[in-house]
Every structure is written in C-alpha cells, then in structure tokens.
Amino acid sequence: MPFNSIEYLLFFIAVLCVSWLLVGKPQLRILFLSLASYYFYASNNGWLLVLLLGSTAIDYFAAHRIEATGDTRQRKLWLTASLVTNLGMLGVFKYFNFFIGTAQSGASLLGFDLTLPQSHILLPVGISFYTFQSMSYTIDVYSKKLKAERSFIRFAFFVSFFPQLVAGPIVRARYFLHQIPETPRLSMKAFEASLFLIFTGLFKKMVLGDTLGDYADLAFSSPDTTHAFVAWLGLYAFTFQIYFDFSGYTDIAIGCARLLGFRLPPNFRRPYTATSFSEFWRRWHISLSFWLRDYLYKPLGGNRKGDIRAYANLMITMLLGGLWHGANWTFIIWGGLHGLFLAIEKRLGLAKFSRDYHGKPIQRFFRSFIIFNLIVLTWLPFRATDFSHFIAYTKALFHFEQSLSITLGMLLAICIILGALGAQWFGELKSIKRLVLQQPFILRALFYAGIIILIIVFSARGTEPFIYFRF
C-alpha cells in the first residue's frame, strides 16, 4: 500500500477520522492505531507480520530483563539475544543469498566447485528500518539511557507506526515513546503545514522523481552504446531521482504522522548544498547516519583511540552502512567511497561545514560544487545493478564517439536538475514551506491546486514504488 496510491489515501482518511474520534480514549486509540499499522504492513504480505511481531516481542521482553537484573553477565546475555535476533533476521532474509554467492565465488577462485542452496524468499519490506529502530531501544535500555516501556501495546505501536514503518525515518524510542500517552493537539497552522508536506512529498516523488527516473533508467539500461553526455545526464538524473523519491517519502511520512498527532524527526536538510561529506551525512538520511554514529562508530571507539583507529572505524561504519542498503557489492563500494572521502577529510582537516563559510558565499558555493559532483560520482555504484554494470557505466562516462541527439526528455531532465539545484540553494536562504504558508489564502489555494493537478496528470503513468522500499 504505497503512499502514492488511492488505496493508501482511503486507508489514511479512515484511520485519521477514527483516531481523532478516539482522542478521549487514549488506550483504545493507540490499540486502534497499532492494529491499523499491522493492517498496513500486512497489505503487502500477511506472513511478514510474524517477523515484525517476533522482533517486537523479543526486544520488549529483553529490555525488561536487562532492566530487572543488576548482573552484568545477564544484562549482556539479554542484549545479545536482542541483537542476534534482529541481525539474524536481516542476515537470513536480506543477506543469505549474498553470503552464499560470495562463498561460491571465493571457492571458485581457489579452484573448488562449491554448490550451496539459494533462498527464494522475497525481501520483507522495511525490515532494515524496523529492526534498527527496535534494536536501538534495547541498546538504550542496556546503556541506562532509557527506561523499559511497561506497556507492550505502546512499544508495539512505536515499532510498527505505519507512516515511517517501511522507509523511515528511523525513530529513537527516546524521541517517540513519551509522545504516545500525550493528548494529541493539532492547530490549524500545523494542519496546513502537514498538508503542505504531504502534497509536496507526492509532487517530489510522482512528478519530479519518477520523471527523472524514466530518463535514468533509459541511460543505465544500455551503457555500452551510450554517449558520454547521455551517461552523465543519466547519473545526475538518478542523483536527484533518489533525493526526490526518498525525501518525498519522508515528507509524506512526517505530514501523515503530524496529522495523527505525532512528531517524527527530519531526515533531509538540502543535502546537495553540503560543503563536505561530513556535512552531507548530517543532511542526508539523517536518522540512519546518526544511528550509525551512535550505535556503531562510537562503540567501535570513534575517534578516541587515535587517528588510525578513527579512519578504520569510519571505513567499517560506512562499509556496513553500504551493506545495510542492499546485499550487493556495489553498495559496499558506495559505502567504501563515502568512508574513504570521510577519512581523507578528517586526515586533511577538510571536514568543513556551511557555518565555516559565513560571509564567504563564493567560497562556499565552489566548495559545495566540488562536493556535490563527487557525491554524484558515488551514486554510480549505488545505481548499478552489479559490478560489471558499474564498470560498463563508468566507461560510458567517457564514450564520446557514440552518436548523440538531443531529445525532449533530455531537455526536461536538465530543467528539473537545474531547478532542483536552484531550489536547494534558495532553501538555504529562506524556508520554501514558510514562504508558501505566509502567502494570502487565495495564493496558497492556487499553489495546492496546481500541485494536485500535476500529481493527477503524472499519476496516469501508474504507481511507481519508492526506491527505499527495496532496502
């Protein structure tokens, strides 16, 4: 039931109405929203509820046992049970075939013929997100940063809350659990701000992202016969396709959650204006980057054990962050490139932030221009289907001998890319959302009407899945 479908629209309207009718009965309201979340998840495939409920139950029970005992060994044992359960589910359902294929390839290089069974189970939607979310809860309880939640229903609601269930943001229990017993409030200002996020999120996905996706798919489909200009434009098109697709999903999720009376953290802050890779990861997929920092990089030692260890920790963190995105060596290459650039920045003292260029707009622009284009290059292995495709497309970036003809699709892609870059930079100066919401009612109405018309027109192509549903 993707956000960009009629089914979701009808589902959300029904849930919204009933949930506000139950405001005076908070326990019943949370139970209803939990059941609605499970229905939302089961609409994709009913058996997946077993995994979601299993992860929820084990982490709920493990956290209580961790909090109840003062024995260090017992606490570590229950934490291990939580981590093994969540990472085990990821390993079996997401990485089993990858590990089997890697083992077979390694054996083949050594001259052995190794045949192992392959799994034919489809990747459970959202498993990477809700396992990380639930796992961070038990880690926080173990670290005594959080008290164990007494109500199983409230904890189950935290894990399964449908707006962010399948593609984030990855919400911390410390951020969300305290909101559950609060009486929800929704002012007219917050109501319109939520609608703005939902409409613009759909616009990003269905009008801009899917349009660029059509061109990117075409460019990546035949790299061996692609002119360099087409290949570069396809790479830039994907760069903004994935931004519009994922940030559009996040906007819709935040808007829907706010209409239901809950706040979700931001996940994007104009990432393509970053002045370093360090700042990029403070602006792109914020909930994941901070999760990796707090639950992987710091426990590995962070930068507390010398520079060499810090560089190694950065590489390990980003390699595993790449693997989190998918069971493919191309994602590991993508994570490795980001880890390498982060380590180089740290070594050379180049981990600059926008605030470091206050009063220096020209220097900041050129710095951001360089970082942006390096980030574009890192998206190549992310988009490639496998290593051979990655190599073929890399070569296509230098194929100038192929014939070239300018098409309407290319011109449209160029216009969207340039417009998107301009909008990101304008957003650094003034909030576009605040600018729109400050306008007179008639202008705001025309703005929403225009967006709705464009969404309806572009929806004729059909419902395209969100990219991050694959992860």
**Which tens digits make up the pLDDT trace of 38-64?**
999 998 777 888 889 999 999 999 999
User: Residue 207 in contact with residue 419, Cβ under 8 Å?
Assistant: no
Q: Mind listing the pLDDT tens digit for each residue in 155-170?
A: 999 999 999 998 879 9
Q: Mind listing the pLDDT tens digit for each residue in 413-431?
A: 999 999 999 999 999 988 8
Residue 205 in 3-state DSSP?
A: helix
Please give the Cα distance from 245 to 465 (Å, whole number): 9
User: If pLDDT is split at 50, 70 and 90, which confidence band does 110 have?
Assistant: low
Contacts by residues 384-388 (CB-CB < 8 Å, ≥ 24 positions apart):
384/220, 384/330, 385/330, 386/328, 386/329, 386/330, 387/329, 387/330, 387/333
Residue type, position 454, single letter: L
Nearest 5°: CA angle at 372, between 222 and 244? 65
Please give the Cα distance from 130 to 41 (Å, whole number): 12
Listed residue (410, 379, 403, 408) closest to 226, CA to CA: 403
Query: What pLDDT shows up at residue 224?
Result: 85
Please give the Cα distance from 53 to 51 (Å, whole number): 6
Listed residue (124, 371, 170) closest to 265, CA to CA: 170
Query: What pLDDT shows up at residue 326?
Result: 85
Listed residue (75, 74, 100, 252) closest to 166, CA to CA: 252
Residue type, position 332, single letter: I
If one compares 403 and 221, the residue with the highest pLDDT of the two is: 221
Q: Average of pLDDT values for 113-127?
A: 72
If one compares 466 and 270, the residue with the highest pLDDT of the two is: 270
Active site residues: 325
Query: What pLDDT shows up at residue 119?
Result: 61
Q: Mind listing the pLDDT tens digit for each residue in 202-219?
A: 999 999 999 999 999 999
If one compares 454 and 405, the residue with the highest pLDDT of the two is: 454
Please give the Cα distance from 191 to 399 (Å, whole number): 51
User: If pLDDT is split at 50, 70 and 90, which confidence band does 445 have?
Assistant: very high
Residue 358 has pLDDT above 90, yes or no: no
User: Residue 234 in contact with residue 177, Cβ under 8 Å?
Assistant: no
Query: What pLDDT shows up at residue 97?
Result: 74
Name, in order, each residue with C-beta under 8 angstroms of 302's C-beta and a sequence gap of 6 or more: 310, 313
Mean of per-residue pLDDT scores for the chain? 90
Contacts by residues 295-299 (CB-CB < 8 Å, ≥ 24 positions apart):
295/135, 295/136, 295/139, 296/320, 296/321
User: If pLDDT is split at 50, 70 and 90, which confidence band does 440 have?
Assistant: very high
User: If pLDDT is split at 50, 70 and 90, which confidence band does 122 have?
Assistant: confident
Q: What is the DSSP letter of 206?
A: I
Give the chain's radius of gyration (CA, Å). 23
Q: Mind listing the pLDDT tens digit for each residue in 252-267?
A: 999 999 999 999 999 9
CA torsion 387-393-398-403 (nearest 10°) is 150
Give me the phi and psi of 443, to 5 degrees please: -70, -40
Name, in order, each residue with C-beta under 8 angstroms of 127's C-beta and a sequence gap of 6 or more: 51, 89, 90, 93, 94
Angle of helix 361-383 versus helix 228-259 axis, rounded to 10: 100
Residue 296 has pLDDT above 80, yes or no: yes
Residue 184 has pLDDT above 80, yes or no: yes
Query: What pLDDT shows up at residue 230?
Result: 92
If one compares 159 and 404, the residue with the highest pLDDT of the two is: 159
Query: What pLDDT shows up at residue 120?
Result: 67
Helices and strands, counts by H and E, the chain: 20, 0
Query: What pLDDT shows up at residue 113?
Result: 67
User: Residue 431 in contact with residue 180, Cβ under 8 Å?
Assistant: no
Q: Average of pLDDT values for 136-152?
A: 94
Residue type, position 294, single letter: D
